[in-house]
A and B are shown apart, each in its own frame.
Chain A
Amino acid sequence: MGCEKDLNLEATELRLGLPGSTASAEPPTPSNISSNNKRQLADINPDSGFRSAAVSSSSSGDKKSDLDQSAPPAKAQVVGWPPVRSFRRNVLQQQAKKTATETESAGGNYVKVSMDGAPYLRKIDLKVYSGYPQLLKALEEMFKFRYINGSDFVATYEDKDGDWMLVGDVPWTMFANCCKRLRITKGSDARGLTSGGTGGL
């Protein structure tokens, strides 16, 4: 259940790209030699040719800057460039994967929570709460505020469509599946959203 089944947005989404490709997929780069961990003993092939380095961006005629957004072609990764040690690169790649799987795994649904005026964001796992009251209480403790009737605080969330919604309108499970991030606003910014009362909580 949940948003995906009801709306099946991905299937009807208009985007540039071949069917079956996702928007964020990198064009396939020739075998990731630069990220190959030469230390993986299983992969040792002492005579494997290291691809000759040149991607021809060294000629002075090529002034392609990183800010050029118009359909960047797949840049073949240059061996050994940028000069970051394999060890460091592997650690960071593993961490990036770990963060990605942490947020996507069935075991947890971590969403960012921001509160107006707070210096930094928090992250919470929606799956550990059984309902809105528990979530509310956790947010109160986290940000040290009181979410009561008549207070200036309103909890909003960004759903899978990218729209900002008032927390509490939809059943908890649907919310927990749709919610991508949370925001606690206060003051007049919030008033436009409230539909008489504390938004269903």
Chain B
Amino acid sequence: MDLSPKQSSPSESTRFPDEVLERVLALLTSPKDRNAVSLVCKDWYTADSWSRRHVFIGNCYSVSPEIVARRFPRIRSVTLKGKPRFSDFNLVPDNWGADVHSWLLVFASGCPFLEELRLKRMRVTDESLEFLALNFPNFRALSLLSCDGFSTSGLATVATHCKNLTELDIQENGIEDLSGDWLSCFPENFNTLEVLNFSNLITDVNPGVLERLVSRCRSLKVLKLNRTSSLDRLQRLLVSAPQLTELGAGSFSEELTLQQHAELKYAFGLCKNLSVLSGFWDASALNLSAVYPACSRLSFLNMSYTALQSPELASLLPHCPCLRRLWVLDSVGDKGLEAVGANCPSLEEIRVFPTDPFDEDMLHTVTESGIVAVSQGCPKLHYILYFCRQMTNAAVATVVRNCPDFTHFRLCIMNPGQPDHTTNQPMDEAFGAVVKACKKLKRLSISGLLTDLTFKYIGEYAKNLEALSVAFAGSSDLGMQYVMEGCSKLKKLEIRDCPFGNVALLSGLERYESMRSLWMSACNVTIDGCRSLAREMPRLNVEVMKEEGSDDCKADKVYVYRTVAGPRRDAPPSVLTFSGL
């Protein structure tokens, strides 16, 4: 048979013009889909590169800014995450790294049309913020979560120079709060803000300035005030901006006269579109009732900064028929959680934080009954974060029987290594029940007294697991081995205070390149083990953070991650980097 020349080169006959391909690919927004597309062939890789608008970088050291700018010259939006998650709990030295400045320098020339920057656990200085404000003329949206290194002066430069700012989202950062003047730096005619979150800050902003800003910005949808914002201010702001969809109230404990209470309630009643409510630092029961009129469309209620009692929660919940996500403190007690089970049939996520994490007297606490009560009333539950001081295997088994759709199951029994308090047995069967029942489980955090059996269950059943967090658990290297062998989709593994050594570490040799990162601290890994790992796997960065006074051979904290950027050059002296290169 005679093959015509056209048919022998298939790409010719099936080739889309680049513009069409880019248009089609532009409809794919998820990074996972885009990544898959880019692997199909060189044409598709190129088309994806030119048309990619948003890049998500889960570990800032996995790639260099030069590589990113070269591959995606037209990106508009970047999300960057820096330090390991355990830095949130003071386990990472302050000068560890993850400084955003080198990224900004490269992007200023390589991706000058950048509009959005979202940073998590990065170091950000005032100098960087100024550089950002001055070098990206189209810059619109800045979100800083759990970052540190900057002050309100940096915010002032952003407010001054970013003429088209639509989003300023400052959350849970280590910020040096010098004064509230930064808000006054927005020009008098500036009106494009859609998101303003300054709940992180303590110093008060000039009240007149805020009110004027809010009344000018007719597109403002998200407003999150700080702790020092009074109820009076809140009332005025609500009247001025009833279009808000997300509100973070400020202080909520002032004593109001009847008249003031009525006015506040009226103001809340004007807000027909609120779907998210948060803030409420220190709310009093009486004041909370002013919020009821705004709750009919509420889907997310975050009361985790105020020690609500069970009667207050029980009075509030019936006003929130559409609630899907709820965050509270354990001050609500099991009775409060019973109220949740009774009033929130659509609930999908609940997080219960500890009022006093170091309180040994159990004055504020929730127990196994609370979590069971929620599961009984909320069959759609798929996300739970639960801090408690006691738990039983039976209760957890009941919970997952009631709610088999968990994707995120994070249980923190606060006393390390605590057994089932009714049987004195390890909590192995609890987590065994979780992984057996919840086929969609992606994230798991375990606690309590746990043997290698827990890990055997995880390796055998948790086939969709992507993130695992382990503390004070396991009996031997086998534990970690079970997980490394069984959980093929694992992306993030963080381990602290477990008896896992070099054998365990090296059992994951084949896996680490498919994972974002591994953290092991206060385990039995040695420097030699890390060296071996680095030697075997040259495309991993193996870093050890040494603690003062520890043995020379011990690897106190180990952080391993895949990278195409080689070993990093900005590590402080306390961080040893091992590389096979």
| Chain A residues with a Cβ under 8 A of chain B | 33-39, 41, 44, 46-55, 57-60, 62-67, 72, 75, 77-89, 91-92, 95-96, 98-99, 119-120, 122-123
Contacts and interface: CB of A to CB of B under 8 A. Distances in A.
Nearest to B419: A63
Contact of B417 (A39, A58, A83): A58
Nearest to A40: B174
B10 interface: no
Given A47-B93, A95-B281, A120-B312, A52 B547 contact: yes
Contact of B497 (A58, A72, A119): A58
B472 A58 contact: yes
B446 to A, nearest CB: 12
Contacts of B89: 79-81, 83-86
A136 to B, nearest CB: 19
Contacts of A63: 419, 424, 449
B414 A82 contact: yes
B179 to A, nearest CB: 15
Nearest to B550: A52
A66 B315 contact: no
Nearest to A85: B88
Per DSSP, chain A at the interface is loop
Chain B interface category by residue count: 35 or more
B412 interface: yes
Contacts, number: 154
Contacts of B284: 123
B415 interface: yes
A120 B309 contact: yes
Contacts of A81: 89, 414, 416, 471
Interface in B293-344: 304-307, 309, 311-312, 315, 329
A64 to B, nearest CB: 8
Nearest to A45: B94
A53 B414 contact: no
Contacts of A47: 93, 548, 573-574
A99 B281 CA distance: 12
Contacts of A99: 282
13 contacts: A48-B93, A48-B548, A57-B416, A58-B497, A63-B449, A66-B390, A80-B89, A82-B387, A85-B88, A85-B89, A86-B89, A87-B172, A95-B307
Most buried by A among B414, B550, B572: B414
A119 B285 CA distance: 11
Given A38-B90, A46-B94, A47-B548, A84 B353 contact: yes
A120 B550 contact: no
A122 B255 CA distance: 12
Contact of B356 (A33, A86, A96): A96
Give the 6 A-B CB pairs with smallest separation, nearest first.
Answer: A39-B174, A49-B548, A80-B89, A58-B472, A46-B95, A120-B311
A46 B550 contact: no
B357 A49 contact: no
A78 B304 CA distance: 23
Given A46-B94, A63-B424, A98-B282, A54 B356 contact: no
Most buried by B among A33, A34, A36, A39: A39
B355 interface: yes
Given A41-B176, A57-B415, A50 B88 contact: no
A53 B315 contact: no
A82 B281 CA distance: 22
B418 interface: yes
Contact of A57 (B148, B390, B472): B472
B226 to A, nearest CB: 11
B418 A36 contact: no
B91 A79 contact: yes
A158 B146 CA distance: 46
Given A80-B90, A83-B412, 14 more contacts: A39-B175, A50-B90, A52-B547, A52-B550, A60-B417, A60-B451, A66-B360, A66-B389, A83-B89, A85-B88, A86-B89, A95-B281, A99-B282, A120-B309
A33 B548 CA distance: 15
